[in-house]
Amino acid sequence: MYVASALAILVVMGLTLVRAILGPTAFDRLLAVNMFGTKTVLLIAVVGFMTERPDFLDIALVYALVNFLSTLAVLRFFERQISEGTAPTGEG
Amino acid sequence: MEAAVDIVLLSFLCVTVIVIVYIRKLFCAIMLLGIFSLLSASLFITMDAVDVAFTEAAVGTGISSILLLSALSLTHTRERRPSHQPYLALLVVAVTGAVLVYGTMDLPPFGDPDSAIHRHMAVRFIVDSPQEVGPPNVVTSVLASYRGYDTLGEATVIFTAGIALVGLLGFSRRKEFKVRLGGVLPDTTPVAVQVLDASNAPSTDHLVLRIVGKMFIPLIMLFALYVQFHGDYGPGGGFQAGVIFASAIMLYAMIFNVEKAMLVVTPTALRLLAVLGLMLYGGVGVLCMFLGGNFLDYNVLAHEPLHGQHLGIFLIELGVGITVFAIMVTMFYALGNRKGGSA
Amino acid sequence: MMDFCLLDILTALLLTVGCFLGISGGVGLYRLPDFFTRQHATGVTDSVCSFAILFALMLQAGFTLVSVKLCFVLVFLIVTSTTATHALAKTALKKGIRPLLGREDKR
């Protein structure tokens, strides 16, 4: 049961990775990384239950935190680009 | 069946790394580096190395991405086309790699309890740690007590890196800041003074982010303290706690402005804290010498060896946590304050 | 292996729902044509998928510290994932990406 859901989450992570590689604009990639982080949190929780070691939940909490943090950092980076007038729209 | 999870994660890792190396848009490479770090941490978890995964998560995805982005804002966002094809280098690397892979065929199987590294010190650590040192988390007891000297070296390396960065970059905006306030030091300025600037004007621009930030930043700090003091019983410890605490400050600096964050956590305070943490660590060692034991021999700190160990580990983890926090925020201030524009 | 306990059946059901939503979110992220449409896929399915899977694990754990931690993770994930979606959309609009308002080809 846990193994099946772990594999399903891995499938989703694969699809997200494809979008992160392809994504024509930077925002697509950012969206993919954010979703990848959320799925990693779920994967850790499920794997923790699969291997009977639920100490991993501290790590899941930290992941959720750093995922949010890095998304915000990238958005601030874009805003600085907008306010300075550099970089064409959606470059990268 | 866990092997299936491992295989899939490793293949994702390979794909990510190949794309990182080939792609020339640096911004995309930074995003993929974040994914790389998440994948590595997942692999560490499947290998049961929980403390390492913790540190990799906190440092690799959060802090590294932020610092790399700050560096990227100073330069071009696209890598220049290489001017020559490095075929000779590729051949040398391929031959070296093949030789190394051939060498790994002589290694004992993964996790084999009879292999050489598992038979001497590892047995002593696992068997004797509850009686000699005390905490249930053997990783903490090895890091803080059996290998306390190494951890002192690590904390010193972090401190030195922070000093080097500040020495190279400095806090370039601070002089501007002082001039705007008429020469008054920011440390003595009451926090209610608003620096009225176009970029700092309070606006309803980020209302949702501000409210969510106000809700979560105290909870993140509380979680950092939990990780710090819970390091004896679960994954955690000084490094991870320092990084998480620094993340809370960085979150504040990103949602509001770096200037406001500098009013809350001033650079002077950070310098003091960095030194204080390291001195706490070294001070514990010297105190042990004064009380009759060796350097960093915690047995002499209290009336009973186990209590002494507990006290010693507590103090040095606190020192490491304080130093790591101060240096991380210092690096963020130094990198985030370049070239005008609010970070 | 027969799942006699109601809790086990409920857990299996929630895990299935969560995984299905996750996969549909992933497929949507891959196939939808535009950034804002992709955000629909991820934003909606992410929150409900995490809720379903983490709630299923909470049912398995019972009234222990593990459940409390799972609850924290759940609340944090839901709030921050929706906030990140909002912030992303806002910055994308400011940066000049326009939503796709109509189809170029008829299929």
Q: Which residues of chain C have pLDDT under 50?
A: 106-107
Answer yes or no: do B208 and C79 touch at CB < 8 A: no
Which residue among B45, B230, B254 sits closest to A47, beta carbon to beta carbon?
B45
Is residue B12 within 8 Å of residue B39, measured between CB atoms?
A: yes
A89 in a structural domain: no
Has residue B308 been placed in a domain?
Answer: yes
User: What's the number of CA atoms in the CB half-sphere (13 Å) around residue B113?
Assistant: 2
A90 domain-assigned: no
Which domain range does residue B216 map to? 143-343
Give the A:C interface size as CB pairs under 8 Å.
Answer: 130
Return d(Cα A13, Cα C63) in angstroms, integer.
Answer: 31
Model confidence band, residue B177 (pLDDT cutoffs 50, 70, 90): very low
Rounded to whole angstroms, how far apart are CA atoms A42 and C91?
27
Among the listed residues B174, B195, B197, the one whose alpha carbon sits nearest the alpha carbon of residue B185: B174
> Do residues B40 and B12 make contact, with C-beta atoms less than 8 angstroms apart?
no
**Distance to chain B for A80, nearest Cα, Å:** 7
* B116-147 confidence digits (pLDDT tens): 777 777 888 888 888 887 788 888 888 888 88
Q: Specify the range with the lowest mean pLDDT, choosing from B1-5, B55-59, B229-233.
A: B1-5
Residue B251 Cα, gap to closest chain A Cα (Å): 6
Asked if B244 and B334 sit in the same domain, the reply is yes
Q: Are residues B284 and B155 in the same domain?
A: yes
Domain total in chain B: 2
Is the separation of the CB atoms in B51 and B43 below 8 Å?
no
B104: tokens are 């790994």
At B25 the three-state DSSP class reads strand
Nearest CB to A43: which of B15, B42, B250? Answer: B42
B114 lies in a domain? no
| B22 CB neighbour count, 10 Å cutoff | 8
Are residue B163 and residue B302 in the same domain, yes or no? yes
Dist CA B73 CA B27 (whole Å) = 10
Q: Are residues B147 and B46 in the same domain?
A: no
Lowest mean pLDDT: which of A56-60, B87-91, B226-230, B263-267? Answer: A56-60
By CA distance, what is A85's nearest residue in B?
Answer: B341
Nearest to A12 by CA among B7, C38, C27, C12: C27
Give chains near A: 3+ CB pairs under 8 A.
B, C
A91, part of any domain = no
Residues B4 and B90 in one domain: yes
pLDDT, averaged across chain B? 82
And the tokens for B270?
């950070």
Given a cut of 90, whether residue B156 has pLDDT beyond it is yes
Residue B137 forms part of a structural domain: no
- Give yes or no: residues B164 and B82 share one domain: no
Same domain as B163, residue B60: no
Within this chain, do residues B161 and B95 fall inside the same structural domain, yes or no?
A: no
Identify the domain boundary among B40, B74, B102.
B102
Which residues have C-beta within 8 Å of that of residue B96, sequence separation ≥ 6?
none
Residue B332 has pLDDT above 60, yes or no: yes
Interchain CB distance below 8 Å, B209 and C87: yes
Specify if B126 maps to a domain.
no
Structure tokens at A81: 């680009």
Q: What integer is the mean pLDDT of B218-223?
A: 92
Residue closest to C16 by CA, chosen among C28, C3, C31: C3
| A54 inside domain | yes
What value of ipTM does the predicted structure carry?
0.86
* Domain span including residue A55: 2-84
Is A68 part of a structural domain of the chain?
yes
CB contact under 8 A, B212 and C83: yes
Query: How many domains does the structure of chain A reveal?
Result: 1
Of B72, B102, B132, the one marking the end of a domain is B102
B85 and B198 both lie in a single domain: no
Is residue B91 located within the same domain as residue B150? Answer: no
Residue of chain C whose Cα is closest to the Cα of B207: C87
Residues B173 and B92 both lie in one domain: no
Q: Which residues pair with B78 in a beta bridge?
A: B25
Mean pLDDT of A16-22: 88
For A72, B223, B330, B334, B343, the CA distances from A79, given in Å and listed in that order, are 10, 29, 22, 19, 9
Tell me how many helices (H) and strands (E) chain C has: 3, 0
Give B142's DSSP letter. I
Residue B62 lies in a domain: yes
Chain C residues within 8 angstroms (CB to CB) of chain B: 76, 79-80, 83, 86-87
